[in-house]
Amino acid sequence: MAVKVMIPTPLRQFTGKQASIECSAATVGEALGNLTTSFAELRKHLYTDDGRIRSFVNVYLNDEDIRFLDKEHTKTKDGDTISIVPSIAGGLAATLKEIENQR
């Protein structure tokens, strides 16, 4: 199945700046597996060391959260869009300074 994986801004640095990647996969898990094989650096951002999708990253098949479908076993069909949606906190200067101070 030809599917499109949407890469969010914070993770594009690991996909050669590409905003979306087309690949062939029968399930959501397979698509993400293909993706992290092509872009190894992405792996630790998507998965924990024991191979679970990280809890601050959500994965959607079209507009539905895969946690409420069949998780990584959710089957895909041609033309589906998979979205990786990480939590983002913002980009204001206040925290910037705090982070600097903590470093």
Partner 1 sequence: MAIQTDALKQEEVKLSKEEIQRYSRHLIMPEVGLEGQLKLKRARILCIGTGGLGAPLGLYLAAAGVGHLGLVDFDVVDSSNLQRQVTFTTEDVGKSKSEAARARLKALNPTIEITAYETRLTSENALELFKDYDIVVDGTDNFPTRFLVNDACLLLGKPNVYGSIFRFEGQATVFGYPGGPCYRCLYPEPPPPGLVPSCAEGGVLGVLPGIIGSIQAMETIKLILGTGEPLVGRLLLFDALAMRFRELKLRRNPECPLCGEHRTLDKLIDYEEFCGIRGEEAPAMTDGIVEITPKELKARQERGDDLFILDVREPHEFQICNLNGKLIPLGELPGRVSELDSSREMVVHCRSGKRSADAIRFLQTAGFKKLLNLKGGVLAWSDQVDPSMPKY
Of 18, 24, 37, 95, the one binding partner 1 by CB under 8 A? 95
Spatial CB neighbours of 102, under 8 Å, sequence gap ≥ 6: none
Instruction: Record the tokens describing residue 43, joined without a space.
Output: 């792996």
Q: Would you count residue 19 as binding partner 1 (CB under 8 A)?
A: yes
Name which of residues 44 to 63 contact partner 1 (CB under 8 A): 44-45, 54-56, 58, 60, 63
Question: What's the distance, CA 91 to chain centroid?
Answer: 20
Name which of residues 61 to 90 contact partner 1 (CB under 8 A): 63-65, 67-68, 83, 85-90
- Residue 45 one-letter amino acid: H
Q: How far is the CB of 32 from partner 1 (least distance, A)?
A: 17
Q: Would you count residue 93 as binding partner 1 (CB under 8 A)?
A: yes
Instruction: Record the tokens describing residue 32, joined without a space.
Output: 């993400």
Please check whether residue 85 is in contact with residue 59, taking contact to mean a CB–CB distance below 8 angstroms.
yes
Please check whether residue 60 is in contact with residue 85, taking contact to mean a CB–CB distance below 8 angstroms.
yes
Q: Report the interface residues with partner 1, using CB under 8 A.
A: 8-10, 13-14, 19, 40-41, 44-45, 54-56, 58, 60, 63-65, 67-68, 83, 85-100, 102-103
